Amino acid sequence: MHTQSRPKANPYPERTVYCDPANAAGRDFLNELLVKSFIHPEDWKHLPRGSQERLLAVRDRQQLLAMLVDGQLLTEYQASRVVAGTTFGLVLGNYRILDRLGAGGMAVVFRAEHVEMRHTVALKVLPLSSGQDERLQSRFTAEMRIVARLRHPNIVGALDAGRVQSDGPDATVLWYLVMEYVPGIDLEMYVNKHGPLSLMSACNLMYQTAAALGEINKYRLVHRDVKPSNIMVTPEDQAKLLDFGLSRQLDTRVTQSGTLLGTIDYMAPEQARDASSVDIRADIYSLGATLFWCLTGKVPHQGLSANGDMFQRFTLPPPSARRLVADLPPEIDGVIAKLMALKPDERISSPQEAMSALLPFLKPSAVELPGIFQDAPLSAHSAAGKACPAGQRHRILIVDDEDGIRQFCRIVLQGDGRQCEVAPNAEAALAMIQKTPYDLILSDVCMPGMTGIEFTRKLRASPSVPHQKIIMFSGSATSDELAQMLQAGADDFLVKPLSIVTLQGRVHAALRMKDVQDRADLLNRRLLAVNGDLEHNLLIKEGALIQSRNALLLALAKLVEHRGGQSGTRLTRMQEYSRALASEAACSSPYAAEINDGFVEIVACCAPMHDIGKIGLPDHILLSPGKLTPEERIVMQTHTTIGAETLRQVAKSHGAALAFLDVAADIARHHHERWDGTGYPDRLAGDAIPLAARIVTICDVYDALRSRRSHKPALAQSAALQLMSETCTGQFDPTLFTAFLRRAAEFERIFRDNPDG
């Protein structure tokens, strides 16, 4: 915990601005805002010189503040505090207050920024003046220490804490707790704005809240104020429990006997009688009341006053949600009744039991909910993708040592052409796989005995079905561990807690990818049949069978392009580029002996296969519109090895007559190598890179620069050539690049004659 007093002198002389002495007032005012970090020095430094001069020329403070807000150097909240002269507390320790988010019974919550690291946080601030009730300070301090112990995806985490004392006569002390900033809105605000949630949405959020209660119960804590306004929901539909200001440690009695603490509409009867003696079952009651609110938009006992009907309120049986929302299933009233039973002994007794009761309602119907922050409210539904084709049924194996996770995944994924089975550990899963083939395996990383990574290596060493997909999940995996998963053979990864929408989407994408790869195998078999006929017709060099072979290769490559949202004309361009460059390189002395007419045609035939490995990439990476994260980039780079291994397996099975597939494999694996040895996947350098791959590399880079993508504009011919010339020394074979420049006009013609659709 940090303690800070107000600075009496300028500790940051480098933050001083300078201007004409004639406008000393404006200069001094800006100096004050900078020194106190109300304006961040970096923001001022990065302003254009002209903007700085315009601000320095302003003498009127009100006008200057308005201009600083317009220029986003200050927020409106900061400016209002400066105008009011109440700037004490705008900077707390290493954090600068940006905006006011809300207020509770004893504290105010602000959006803030770490001055040095510049990440956004939430600050809960308790102002205390000399002589005020010390119980508030004790309760706030207890909350800081409680939240600091909790580390759970469904609990707003604590990052730091401290206090600041003013120099005023009242000696005000601001105690502050730094928490993770959760973008989104709370459940109360959402339901008030959009109306009740759908059954699956409400149960999903309550399931996550119950998981949070399970975590605090491990520490013998009781929250005592579970309610919609204390549950934040992120744009990814993740519930976050907050506000532990009324929490109680079961081993202590900070609260006086008979004290009424909590929110009456969601309060368990025993908590109303004596808040100092309750256990986790009081939070279970509040969870049921919150579920009722989510489904109906009303508090459980609507119409009863907070105090006058206290006795009646806590003697009424749990309400029926179906009386207000007729299309709810009868079973949900039974769950609410168990959660809100008047007597604690008759109530669901643990968060884990509550999670089990909610699980059956997490199974979506044929259509799926949108996210909370999409335009449509959660009470509506939208299509979640097409079901499996008639007659096709995917088998999924879920491997996790936590029964709750296994059942959650099974209930969410079962049906719509999918059959799910579960295993408690990797050893049991391997025994099941020997008897039954599975299209997709979901595996936890951390399990007793064999770890998920070791399990994945065994699966890849002896796959039971072609193109078997493996998705791993973890609650605390680092970047290095994610890389190890992918190197071991995982296709994708998920972070716990598992969101219904994300889980379904990733599984749907993985199974769709397997279907595409299975269809690609079928195309390969047909291609091999055509080449078998071709071997018996060696005299027909340009005949129909060669054309059929080339057409099937192009069809296979177009399958990949279609997944990536690109047009097939790019493949035609790649063929023509490669033919032109290989033909020109044949005129250069180093390659005259290596390149003949047959080599030129093989390179042109195989060039469209350079990115065939992308058929094995997850949709969320292949179709990502923005910059990839380091972990996603590792996955993206595996397309080179996926494509090469696929083509070499085909070539190995069908003999030397398919030598052109070896060329295609070389191109697929090495078209991202660089002449200086800094490329991937094998960091080959110079002549060690296969010649066909060096040719395709130049063609691929040229076409990428000339083509428009969602994340970049198309470059003109002159700009593309200039950019390639600046990087040619390290990236391209110098001799081939010189040949490329000689044919640059032809490359321009090919690009112009084959535009994207």
Per-residue pLDDT for 505 more than 50? yes
State residue 289's pLDDT score: 94
Per-residue pLDDT for 385 more than 60? no
> How many other CB atoms are found less than 10 A from the CB of residue 347?
22
418 within domain boundaries: yes
State residue 654's pLDDT score: 57
Per-residue pLDDT for 396 more than 90? yes
Instruction: Give the CA-trace dihedral at 295, 299, 301, 306, to 10 degrees.
Output: 170
Q: Are residues 126 and 262 in the same domain?
A: no
What 3-state class would DSSP assign to 173? strand
Range from 19-33, 480-494, 557-571 that averages highest in pLDDT: 480-494
714-734 tens-digit pLDDT: 888 888 898 898 877 789 999
Nearest to 232 by CA among 171, 196, 181: 181
Q: Are residues 635 and 706 in the same domain?
A: yes
C-alpha 456/C-alpha 493 separation (Å) is: 12
524 within domain boundaries: no
State residue 378's pLDDT score: 38
136-154 tens-digit pLDDT: 777 777 777 777 777 788 8
Per-residue pLDDT for 301 more than 60? yes
Average pLDDT score over residue span 195-206: 92
Bigger pLDDT: 507 or 522?
507
Per-residue pLDDT for 74 more than 70? yes
Q: Are residues 208 and 162 in the same domain?
A: no
Q: Are residues 260 and 139 in the same domain?
A: no
157-193 tens-digit pLDDT: 888 888 888 877 667 888 888 888 888 888 999 999 9
State residue 757's pLDDT score: 63
C-alpha 285/C-alpha 302 separation (Å) is: 16
Peptide bond just before 681 cis, omega within 30 deg:
yes
Q: Encoding tokens for residue 614?
A: 């992308």
pLDDT band with cut points at 50, 70 and 90 for residue 601:
confident
Q: Are residues 78 and 212 in the same domain?
A: no
Per-residue pLDDT for 213 more than 50? yes
> How many other CB atoms are found less than 10 A from the CB of residue 291?
29
Q: Containing domain of residue 468, as a range?
A: 385-511
pLDDT band with cut points at 50, 70 and 90 for residue 756:
confident
Choose the final residue of a domain: 466, 496, 511.
511
Q: How many domains does the chain have?
A: 4
Bigger pLDDT: 198 or 302?
198
State residue 577's pLDDT score: 94
548-587 tens-digit pLDDT: 455 555 556 555 665 555 555 888 899 899 999 999 999 8
Q: Are residues 212 and 133 in the same domain?
A: no
pLDDT band with cut points at 50, 70 and 90 for residue 751:
very high
State residue 384's pLDDT score: 34
What 3-state class would DSSP assign to 666? helix
CA-atom Rg of the chain in angstroms? 33
State residue 376's pLDDT score: 35
Per-residue pLDDT for 636 more than 70? yes
684 within domain boundaries: yes
Per-residue pLDDT for 455 more than 50? yes
Choose the final residue of a domain: 294, 327, 362.
362
Per-residue pLDDT for 498 more than 80? no
Q: Is 380 exposed, middle or buried (0-12, 13-18, 19+ CB in 10 A)?
A: middle
C-alpha 701/C-alpha 706 separation (Å) is: 9
Q: Are residues 216 and 353 in the same domain?
A: yes
Contact between 618 and 510 (Cβ < 8 Å): yes
Report the 3 state secondary structure along 515-561: HHHHHHHHHHHHHHHHHHHHHCCCCCCCCHHHHHHHHHHHHHHHHHH
Contact between 440 and 396 (Cβ < 8 Å): yes
Q: Are residues 200 and 318 in the same domain?
A: yes
Bigger pLDDT: 593 or 376?
593
C-alpha 668/C-alpha 103 separation (Å) is: 58
Per-residue pLDDT for 5 more than 50? no
518 within domain boundaries: no
Rounded percentage of the chain residues whose pLDDT exceeds 70: 79
Residue 221 β-bridge partners: 249
pLDDT band with cut points at 50, 70 and 90 for residue 406:
confident
604 within domain boundaries: yes
pLDDT band with cut points at 50, 70 and 90 for residue 13:
very low
Peptide bond just before 497 cis, omega within 30 deg:
yes
State residue 387's pLDDT score: 38
C-alpha 554/C-alpha 387 separation (Å) is: 29
C-alpha 588/C-alpha 595 separation (Å) is: 10
CATH of the domain at 432: 3.40.50.2300
Q: Encoding tokens for residue 436?
A: 């039954």
631 within domain boundaries: yes
CA distance between the termini of the chain:
61
Its pTM stands at 0.58
CATH of the domain at 263: 1.10.510.10
546-557 tens-digit pLDDT: 554 555 555 565
521 within domain boundaries: no
Q: Are residues 74 and 126 in the same domain?
A: yes
Report the 3 state secondary structure along 696-757: HHHHHHHHHHHCCECCECCCCHHHHHHHHHHHHHHHCCHHHHHHHHHCHHHHHHHHHHCCCC
State residue 617's pLDDT score: 81
291 within domain boundaries: yes
Q: Are residues 207 and 341 in the same domain?
A: yes
Q: Are residues 133 and 205 in the same domain?
A: no
Minimum mean pLDDT among 2-6, 376-380, 409-413: which range? 376-380
The amino acid occupying position 445 is V
Average pLDDT, the chain: 80
Report the 3 state secondary structure along 687-705: HHCCHHHHHHHHHHHHHHH
CATH of the domain at 37: 3.30.200.20
pLDDT band with cut points at 50, 70 and 90 for residue 344:
very high
Bigger pLDDT: 73 or 497?
73
Q: Are residues 699 and 558 in the same domain?
A: yes
CATH of the domain at 742: 1.10.3210.10
